[in-house]
Amino acid sequence: MRLVHIIIRHLVQRPVRTAVTVICVAAAVGGFTVLTGLGRGLETAWNGSLVKQGTHLMAHRKGVMNLLTGAIDERIADELKAVEGVESVSTELIDVITLESGASVLVRGWPGDSVLWGQVALISGRLPDPHSRDQVVVGEGLAQSLDIQAGGVLSPFGGELRVAGVARLDNVLGNNSLMMPLSGLQDLLDRQGKITVVHLRVEGGDHEKGLETARARLSEKYPQFLFVAAQTAAQENELYRFWRGMSWAASLVGLIMGLLIVFNTMLVAVLEKTREIGVLNAVGWSGRRIITLIMLESLALSAAGGLAGIACGYLGLKLLVLHPKLQGFILVAPSWSALAEQSAVILAIGLGAGLIPAWRALKLNPIDALRER
């Protein structure tokens, strides 16, 4: 009898137990997919935004855990422009504000002559007046979410922001944010003369060697700042690292529970099939083949639950990012690295849960096993 037929028969004989085990594994893997996916989605959205707007290096104050709370004197831009190898400097003030509707919105302030305005492709209205204090451009995605058009009014902090235009940007973060003159945002946040980050383009910045040379030169001259490459900006943020660590720790608890449930199922299955294992021994099955049978059955349970968990996890992510507090901050995009992580988790659960039951089956005495009723 083929191994596959035996495995299917074993799983079908106890449908309730099999279903409960698969559901529990699916919940564990689904939770892992959601928690790690949120972090990866934030990383993808943030890094992709920086790369597409042409940033080579991003500078922010060193030692700040939450990037949005960092404060840099905006006059630093003139100093950075004078550094050898720096092609352009763009300052930015970033924060998250809450509108009266309850939606959390990323708002970005740029000087009137900033090259960052060049990425803003208007689909209606116009750009804000560089000297205005209350005019904004709304990203297309955010405009659709808020159901607002050029000429509309937004109400943060009890004040008013007038929508001068709606724009389409080629990154998810920009398409779901507000953009306004730097001086206006500084007044709104009561952070006059301050910025959050500096975007730099440097000579040879499109190549790793040129990027590292410029990074080393700037880090030596300005030790109080951290200069990070656009492609890895999120990974080098302390708050992001903290979130990744917490998400992995929380996921690990669920994954251990999933492993223990599969382990319990397989151990009970071996105890119930003691006589059957004795018969297989008696007809010439080797210990290796019996171990393979138990391990494959464990892997089958883990794979069934894992695949369902991955599907449910991505569905959950899609629903989560529709929430007003998260919309526009996270890009849900399955990747090969994520699939590799999830496959490794499924494999670890299946192999880890099957080891002790397989070892117990191997140690059964064929004669004693045949006597079992």
The tokens for 271 are 């105890």
Local confidence pLDDT in tens for the 373 residues of the chain: 577 787 788 778 888 888 988 999 999 999 888 888 877 777 777 777 777 778 889 888 887 766 777 788 999 999 999 888 889 899 999 888 888 777 778 899 999 888 888 888 899 999 999 888 899 999 888 888 888 899 899 888 767 899 999 998 877 777 788 999 999 999 988 899 999 989 999 888 888 888 888 888 999 999 989 898 887 776 666 666 776 777 788 888 888 888 888 888 887 877 777 667 777 777 777 778 888 888 888 899 999 999 999 999 889 888 877 766 666 667 677 778 888 888 899 999 888 888 888 787 777 666 655 555 5
What is the Cα–Cα distance from 216 to 298, expressed in whole angstroms? 51
What is the Cα–Cα distance from 249 to 262, expressed in whole angstroms? 20
pLDDT at position 328, please?
Answer: 61
Q: Is there a contact between 202 and 87 (Cβ–Cβ < 8 Å)?
A: yes
pLDDT at position 126, please?
Answer: 92
pLDDT at position 325, please?
Answer: 60
pLDDT at position 17, please?
Answer: 86
Crossing angle between the packed helical segments 287-320 and 336-363, to the nearest 10 degrees: 150
Q: DSSP assignment of 87-141, as one string? A: EEEEEEEEEEEEBTTS-EEEEEEE-TT-GGGGG-EEEEE-PPPTT-SSEEEEEHH
pLDDT at position 163, please?
Answer: 92
Strands (E), the chain: 57-61, 72-73, 86-98, 104-110, 121-125, 135-139, 153-154, 161-168, 177-181, 194-195, 197-202, 225-229
The tokens for 346 are 């499924």
pLDDT at position 237, please?
Answer: 67
CA 298 to chain centre: 29
Domain boundaries, the chain: 3-45+240-371, 63-223
* Tally of CB atoms within 10 A around 356: 14
The tally of CA atoms less than 13 A away on the side-chain side of residue 211 is 14
Q: Is there a contact between 352 and 259 (Cβ–Cβ < 8 Å)?
A: yes
